Structure 1
Amino acid sequence: MSAGTILLWVVFPYVAMAVFVVGLIWRYRYDKFGWTTRSSELYEKNILRLGSPLFHFGIIFVGLGHFMGLLIPKDWTEAVGFKEVAYHFVATYMGSIAGLMTIVGLALLIYRRRVTGPVFLATTRVDKLMYVLLAVPILLGMWATVQTQILGDAHGYDYRETISPWLRSLLYFQPMPELMADVPLPFKLHITAAFLLFMIWPFTRLVHAFSAPVQYSTRPYIVYRSRDDERAHGTREPRPGWEPSTAPRGRRRPTSTKS
């Protein structure tokens, strides 16, 4: 086995995932106030209203498909009656629809960021790098699907015999890089681009994917009181130099404090 094979399919994935995990911990510990999408909804809503749901729902379905195809062994799905023909149909055609949604949504978001002045001015260099490294694996994944699964052999390429066990071998810390030797080039490029994306993930706005408002439904209500109510209940002393006025709200007169 060549050193290049070990470097590409063992060392590089482990380095990428180490940077990903350590980077997330570092970002959460030292940059909690930066853990945000930096929403630009106030600047433009029409394109965002279409592009954001397309991208987010598409990428969620793509992620679920990858989880099922890469982390769940083929024997398990066949044991419950989900045969290869049915799996190939769902993974290829339903996955293509999800991938197309993701691409269209991402294209709309990039277009919006480029043509909307305030949004473009708020775009950093890291944002631009993020969009590139986000678009590349998505496009490569669609290329791999179309070339090998739709236009290729009738049964497509069974990546659950090679890529899936290779990835699981990394998780078991028993890497088997030899499984990647005969994998079609589009899949190899797609995987490499995906690990590059994971490496820069913690340092971009993509960290918001790991945030969820889980405490929203249990947190206490916030009670707001006007200053008039506070004065009436004696919870707040009037400010020096100001006296209650019978004038309409917003038109109170200051009184002089000079003796």
Structure 2
Amino acid sequence: MSLLWILLPYSAFLSFAVGHLWRYRRDRFRSYFAHQDMDRAQRLGSMVFPLGFGIVVAARITDMISSGAHSRPEGAIYVAILVVEMIAGVVATTGAVLLFVPDLIASPTRPAITWVDRITLPVLVAGLLSGVMIRFDPNSSDNGYRTAESLFAWFRSLFTLHPNPEAMQHAPQIYQARGLILLLLIAMWPYTRLAGIFAGPVIRLSLRGRHQLRQPFGTPTAPDH
């Protein structure tokens, strides 16, 4: 069982890396959301989701860095992380709903959504709900922060030469479930319509910068269409 908590995360990381390479070669991250016939709700969702999701990730990283081996951040830091994460989670979920629900119920003429797209929203919602459940776990206290003892200890160890699968093997089921949900989200991300949300703008800026560097000095750049 402990081997599972080593094989699954590295498999998810491999899928994440290979998937992004495949997506780049396939369409340069010109995702579904680049279509001009998106409705107003989807355009709003395409702006709201990355903002909320990015803040959630930043809050979790701050929590992981600020937590001790068995204790959560103290005082104002913990309150700030909690408030920011809760608000950003709602914002990210709202953005995801605006992005996915119109096409799930309207059967648009744009490219058909895949089965991966159909499970993306439920996976995101499951991630949010599991995060709330472990955040308010009554068995976590100032002297025993279960998230730091399980998820954080396990995740940090994956980037060292000494993985710690026991941290998850002996964790309560809700913590194990959250770990599996996050691994699923990492593994499937490049194959969903969300793939270009973050990578797309980075790739486009990089390509634009290379194009400008190759132009002779003083040559005007072509306007964007």
Could you say which TM-score interval applies, normalised by the shorter chain? 0.7 to 0.9
Tell me what 1:164 maps to: 152
The answer as to whether partners of 2:52 and 2:89 remain within 8 angstroms in 1 is yes
- Distance, in Å, in 1 between the alignment partners of 2:156 and 2:179 is 14
Task: Say whether 1:178 aligns with 2:178.
Answer: no
- Distance, in Å, in 2 between the alignment partners of 1:127 and 1:108 is 14
CA-to-aligned-CA distance 1:134-172 (integer Å, 9 cap, x gap): 333233223333x42xx6666584523432222111100
From the superposition, tell whether residues 200 and 83 of structure 1 become closer, same or farther in structure 2 (CA, over 3 Å). closer
Shift in Å, 1:13: 1.0
CA-to-aligned-CA distance 1:221-248 (integer Å, 9 cap, x gap): 127xxxxxxxxxxxxxxxxxxxxxxxxx
Tell me what 1:63 maps to: 57
Task: Say whether 1:94 aligns with 2:84.
Answer: yes
From the superposition, tell whether residues 109 and 83 of structure 1 become closer, same or farther in structure 2 (CA, over 3 Å). closer
Tell me what 2:222 maps to: 222
Task: Say whether 1:5 aligns with 2:2.
Answer: yes
Identify the structure with the greater helix proportion.
Answer: 2
- Distance, in Å, in 1 between the alignment partners of 2:103 and 2:42 is 10
Shift in Å, 1:40: 6.3
1:135 to 119, 125, 138: 125
CA-to-aligned-CA distance 1:79-124 (integer Å, 9 cap, x gap): xxx9522232122222111111112222232322234442676423
Tell me what 2:96 maps to: 106
Letter in 2 for 1:197: L
Structure 1, gaps ≥5 residues long? 224-259
Letter in 2 for 1:126: V
- Distance, in Å, in 2 between the alignment partners of 1:181 and 1:87 is 29
- Distance, in Å, in 2 between the alignment partners of 1:25 and 1:49 is 26
> Residue 214 of structure 1: SS of its match in structure 2?
helix
Tell me what 1:199 maps to: 187
CA-to-aligned-CA distance 1:19-60 (integer Å, 9 cap, x gap): 2223323443x42x2622222653343322443333221101
Shift in Å, 1:182: 4.8
Letter in 2 for 1:84: E
TM-score, normalised on structure 2?
A: 0.75
The answer as to whether partners of 1:37 and 1:205 remain within 8 angstroms in 2 is yes
Structure 2, gaps ≥5 residues long? 213-219
Letter in 1 for 2:16: F
Letter in 1 for 2:91: M
Tell me what 2:199 maps to: 210
Letter in 2 for 1:25: L
Q: Matched residues, percent identical?
A: 26
RMSD: 3.1
- Distance, in Å, in 2 between the alignment partners of 1:84 and 1:158 is 15
> Residue 162 of structure 2: SS of its match in structure 1?
coil
Shift in Å, 1:181: 4.5
How many aligned residue pairs are there? 208
The answer as to whether partners of 1:137 and 1:191 remain within 8 angstroms in 2 is no
- Distance, in Å, in 2 between the alignment partners of 1:55 and 1:207 is 12
- Distance, in Å, in 1 between the alignment partners of 2:117 and 2:2 is 32
TM-score, normalised on structure 1?
A: 0.66
